[in-house]
Amino acid sequence: MYLENSLDFARLADQQDPLRAYRDQFIFPQHNGQDCLYLCGNSLGLQPRGIRPAILRELDHWAEHGVEGHFRGDMPWMHYHRFLTDAAARLVGALPQEVVVMNTLTTNLHLMMVSFYRPTAQRYKIVMEAGAFPSDQYAMESQVRWHGYDPATAIIEVAPREGEDTLRTEDIVQIIEREGDSIALVMFGGVNYYTGQLYELEKIAAAGHRAGAYVGFDLAHAAGNVPLRLHDWGADFAVWCSYKYLNSGPGGPSGCFVHERHANNPDLPRFAGWWGHDENERFQMKKGFKPMPGASGWQLSNAQIFSFAAHKASLDLFDQAGMEALRSKSEHLTTFLEMVLDEADKGRNMYRIITPRDPAARGCQISLLTDHRGKALFQYLADHGVVADWREPNVIRFAPVPLYNGFEDVWRLGELVRTCEL
């Protein structure tokens, strides 16, 4: 796509954008009576207009039916998770049976590790990315300790090379090969929250399996951001949240993937609850856990209906827009953003882009590593209605989200940065 750093170009590109109409389906926070320049969908996605009626519908259902709401209507609460499964499966490239929406992300990560991190004296290590999101680091460390091992020796972190900001797939693969049969689990993010790097998940999964390890992915920053093919890539499990790119609201429910090959494996230990029990017998209240086949068998509790209703409304938008179309626009937007940020910094060198320059190697995000002027730049942008985010010690992240951001947003950001006097 031809790109030019001008307002005319940005407006034309927005006019020609086939996804343009989706912007009107979102509610923008206001700044001085105008829509904020919202570039923070990687942290909390904006509210789709369809969510309020979806939640009200469930409130009304409750008001009208009380406990019978579990069984009545066209979306009885008893089966509510099922109404999200197909759309969630399409989003991550899975079979419906391989996906369930439940709990929240870190909880699901632990549940998955109960089944897929079972260290032995020989095979006890976890290979993961250095600088993973803190919750993932804490989950890995606490799981390792819980099994009686020492994180210092059991966790192998793959770090960027000296002088580089992001990981090379060849280094990830090489470390997996080196650690070989001492690895119990290879656990990677899909898109790194800090740098925006998109990892080559298929190659990581293949390398992990060649070493005889289980492979899991945390797709918090990848779900709704990049096309995924979890089933074909063969990951053993994956987890993600729904409040970032998936716009399902604060604390929204998590998605969980368990590959078909584990669907009916009775030898796989798990933490069980009544909602994972065979549906036909659940209310017989009998002794003896009998898991539902597939990912549903990992459910513990009955569904959080209001947040599930919000998530369903939001997944509908992804079904309509299509992940391929979103990804295509996202690549153009980040390329345009990279261009305006490079030009705005000419002669000043306030920052360096640490996100991969290749659009195919990143998600919908550009991260700036700033110098001592970074905090002031961030404050200036906030004062002018830009919602971005600051990550300690000195990184600013911008996420131009294809569902509701456009080229003019990106151009305006560039102008603010260019005209900011520091």
Ligand X SMILES: *Cc1c(COP(=O)(O)O)cnc(C)c1O
Give the footprint of ligand X on this chain (CB under 6 A).
104-106, 133, 135-136, 189, 193, 218, 220-221, 241
Measured from the CB atom, the residue of 193 and 308 that comes closer to ligand X is 193
DSSP string for 235-267: -SEEEE-SSSTT---TTPPEEEEE-GGGTT-TT
**Omega of the bond leading into 393 within 30 degrees of 0 (cis):** yes
Measured from the CB atom, the residue of 106 and 334 that comes closer to ligand X is 106
Measured from the CB atom, the residue of 119 and 255 that comes closer to ligand X is 255
Measured from the CB atom, the residue of 104 and 302 that comes closer to ligand X is 104
CA-nearest of 295, 261, 300 to 282 is 300
Measured from the CB atom, the residue of 135 and 320 that comes closer to ligand X is 135
Tell me the closest approach of the beta carbon of residue 108 to ligand X, in angstroms: 8
DSSP reduced 3-state for 277: strand
CA-angle at 411, arms to 405 and 413, nearest 5°: 80
Structure token digits, residue 367: 């991260």
Q: How far apart (Å, rounded) are the C-alpha atoms in residues 395 and 2? A: 29
Measured from the CB atom, the residue of 25 and 254 that comes closer to ligand X is 254
- Count CB atoms within 10 A of the CB of residue 75: 18
Contacts 24+ apart (CB under 8 A), 287-294: 293/97, 293/263, 293/264, 294/97, 294/98, 294/100, 294/258, 294/260, 294/263
- Count CB atoms within 10 A of the CB of residue 278: 15
Measured from the CB atom, the residue of 88 and 420 that comes closer to ligand X is 88
Tell me the closest approach of the beta carbon of residue 299 to ligand X, in angstroms: 17
CA-angle at 255, arms to 254 and 260, nearest 5°: 155
Measured from the CB atom, the residue of 115 and 248 that comes closer to ligand X is 248
Tell me the closest approach of the beta carbon of residue 103 to ligand X, in angstroms: 9
Tell me the closest approach of the beta carbon of residue 295 to ligand X, in angstroms: 18
Query: Are 386 and 396 spatial neighbours (Cβ–Cβ below 8 Å)?
Result: no
Query: Are 120 and 149 spatial neighbours (Cβ–Cβ below 8 Å)?
Result: no
Tell me the closest approach of the beta carbon of residue 238 to ligand X, in angstroms: 11
β-pair type (366-370, 351-353): antiparallel
Query: Are 154 and 126 spatial neighbours (Cβ–Cβ below 8 Å)?
Result: yes
How many angstroms from the chain centroid is the CA of residue 71? 32
Measured from the CB atom, the residue of 13 and 219 that comes closer to ligand X is 219
Tell me the closest approach of the beta carbon of residue 253 to ligand X, in angstroms: 10
Query: Are 367 and 346 spatial neighbours (Cβ–Cβ below 8 Å)?
Result: no
